[in-house]
């Protein structure tokens, strides 16, 4: 929603009648209407839909604000609890290392190294070198609706506990190319290009 | 102290019990079986968490997948993740 409370919708073409479905919306402003644009930043006049939309009262606005505040605090408390459990599961040594580096590295039973970050896909590191910094690909599997650190706990446990859970995780997760694939370059072969040297 | 920590929207909800008290162990076992029916996966974690920081070798002190209730263990129960 924009600050004015307008909802963007697409579809339809000039001269036709469009149908817009508005779901899960809360109107927070006193002015409510529906704008139709032709995509060229010129707006048509207000269109009446035939529906009466009553702006919220100040009491309803205040109740909504308090509800959102409570949800935010509940979410933050849950994340703090989850981070404490994450620290408990991986141990003090690895937690300090995670805080320094910004990611938690796990070695699976298959020998594959995985990097976990809160709210991000699981990075699978290249296997040809022990300390490779190159991401081969990424897996995405999470616990929807749960704190980010709970997802990290889940990923850590499944990838490190046994071969069976590691394979189960891989079968559930969606596989992606690394989003930083443009940075996965071999410095030795790319150096001439990086330095601007002429290419024969 | 033995416990079952269930991951949920609140972070985690922990059930603890005294392993010397039969009633509490029975209640914990019932809770474990209820979670099992709800398709949770269980891991027993080591008392101090992971001990080794050497990641190129498998660390046996890492959490262990369990299918049977262990009244003396610290257990983490999690739902099955979904692909994102």
Considering chain B, what is the average pLDDT of its residues? 79
Rg of chain B, C-alpha, whole Å: 14
- pLDDT recorded at residue A49: 47
Picking from A128, A158, A169, A173 by the largest number of B CB atoms within 10 A of its own CB, the best residue to mutate is A158
Summarised one tens digit per residue, pLDDT across range A139-148 is 999 888 899 9
pLDDT at residue A53, as a whole number: 62
Looking at chain A, the whole-number percentage of residues with pLDDT higher than 90 is: 28
CB contact under 8 A, A89 and B82: no
CB contact under 8 Å between B53 and A94, yes or no, is yes
Selecting from A90, A145, A174 the residue whose C-beta is nearest the C-beta of B84 gives A174
Residue of B82, B2, B13, B69 whose CA lies nearest to B36: B69
Of A42-56, A97-111, B8-22, B23-37, which range is least confident?
A: A42-56
Please give the Cα distance from A55 to A7 (Å, whole number): 15
A148/A127 Cα distance (integer angstroms): 27
Among candidates B63, B65, B84 on the partner chain, residue whose Cβ is nearest the Cβ of A89 = B63
Model confidence pLDDT, tens digit, residues B66-80: 888 888 888 888 888
Query: Which pLDDT score, from 0 to 100, does residue A154 have?
Result: 92
If we measure between CA atoms, which residue out of A134, A143, A32 comes closest to residue A79?
Answer: A143
Whether A153 sits inside 8 A of B81 (CB atoms) is: no
DSSP structure class, residue B58: -
Q: Write down the mean pLDDT value for chain A.
A: 73
The pLDDT tens digits for A2-35 are 434 444 444 444 444 455 555 444 444 444 445 4
Instruction: Provide the token pair at B48.
Output: 């101090």
For residue A155, pLDDT over 60 is answered with yes
Q: What percent of chain A has pLDDT above 70?
A: 60
* B7/A146 Cβ within 8 A: yes
Summarised one tens digit per residue, pLDDT across range A45-58 is: 444 444 556 778 88
The model's pLDDT over A96-132, given as tens digits with 9 standing for 90+, comes to 999 999 999 988 888 889 999 998 999 998 876 666 6
Output the six-digit token pair for A103.
């990611």
Nearest by CB to B55, which of A91, A105, A164?
Answer: A105
How much is the pTM? 0.67
Task: State yes or no: pLDDT of B3 exceeds 50.
Answer: yes
């Amino acid at each position: 929603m924009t600050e004015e409370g307008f909802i963007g919708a697409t579809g339809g073409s000039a001269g036709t009648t469009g149908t817009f479905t508005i779901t899960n919306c809360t109107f927070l402003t006193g002015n409510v209407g529906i704008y139709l644009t032709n995509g060229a930043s010129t707006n048509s006049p207000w269109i009446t839909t035939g529906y009466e939309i009553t702006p919220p009262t100040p009491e309803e606005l205040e109740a909504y604000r308090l509800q959102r505040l409570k949800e935010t605090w509940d979410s933050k408390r849950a994340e703090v609890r989850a981070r404490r459990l994450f620290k408990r599961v991986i141990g003090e040594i690895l937690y300090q290392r995670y805080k320094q580096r910004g990611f938690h590295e796990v070695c699976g039973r298959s020998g594959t190294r995985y990097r976990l970050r809160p709210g991000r896909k699981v990075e699978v590191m290249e296997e040809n070198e022990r300390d490779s910094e190159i991401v081969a690909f990424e897996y995405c599997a999470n616990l929807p609706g749960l704190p980010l650190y709970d997802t990290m706990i889940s990923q850590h446990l499944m990838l490190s506990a046994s071969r069976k859970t590691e394979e189960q995780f891989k079968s559930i997760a969606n596989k992606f190319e690394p989003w930083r694939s443009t940075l996965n370059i071999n410095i030795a072969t790319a150096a001439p290009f990086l330095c601007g040297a002429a290419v024969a | 102290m033995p416990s079952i920590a269930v991951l949920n929207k609140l972070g985690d909800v922990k059930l603890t019990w005294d392993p010397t008290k039969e009633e509490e162990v029975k209640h914990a076992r019932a809770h474990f079986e209820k979670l099992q029916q709800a398709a949770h996966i269980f891991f027993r974690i080591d008392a101090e968490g992971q001990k080794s920081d050497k990641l190129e070798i498998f660390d046996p002190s890492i959490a262990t997948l369990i299918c049977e209730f262990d009244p003396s263990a610290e257990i983490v129960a999690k739902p099955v993740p979904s692909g994102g």
